Amino acid sequence: MILSGDEIQSRIGSDIVIDPFDTSKLNPNSYNLSLHNELMVYEEVVLDMRQANRVRRMTIPEDGLVLSPNQLYLGRTAEFTETHRLVPMIEGRSSIGRLGLFVHVTAGFGDVGFKGYWTLEMFAVQPVRIYPGVSICQIFFHEIRGDVQEYSSAKYQNAQDIQPSLLYQELNPNGQTEDPQLKLDFARRKKRKRVT
């Protein structure tokens, strides 16, 4: 059973956390989540499931950014969510879909107990201009039956940023296990400290 908008609002602060929460984004049976102002793209020509692939960040300016077809863009929601005793799921809004923009590639299914920002796997059918802060997708909640062990994976739980695939940790457990973007960000911060 899917929760109604009124039921979502009544569970805010208990089973559901959406931060920030704005009642104007509440729908009859979902809540609109907005797009953060950063994107990430892979720099590899061929993505390797068994390796950490290099990524590059970009900022979406206030006057928009045109997404190109045949390019995967990783984004994230501006809202932090946390869900207990319910299954969270995200889907694109119909207005976004009618522009030919997919907001996830088969990965809209969440886990009971997930908390963090949602990484969006964005793909455009044709060139489309996007803007920071736009209501990009909607989250909705299913009730679940039976005993539940909440999600606690070290890979994606408590996500504070856009999260590239960490599948390589499963397929290559003896190989690289550190997120290459975190290493790059650390190196940049260290370099800036030396300069100043």
| Catalytic position from the list 91, 121, 143, 170 | 121
Calculate the alpha carbon distances from 6 to 1, 16, 78, 136, 163 in Å. 14, 13, 22, 21, 31
The dihedrals phi and psi of 170, each to the nearest 5 degrees, come to -80, -45
HEC string for 56-76: EEEECCCCCEEECCCCCEEEE
Residue type, 194: R
Query: Cis before residue 20, ω within 30 degrees of 0?
Result: yes
> What are the structure tokens assigned to 51, written together?
């390796």
121 is annotated as an active-site residue: yes
Please state, as a whole number, how many other Cβ atoms lie within 10 Å of the Cβ of residue 182.
10
Burial 110-125 (b: 16+ CB within 10 A, else e): bbbbbbbbbbbbbbbe
Active site residues: 121
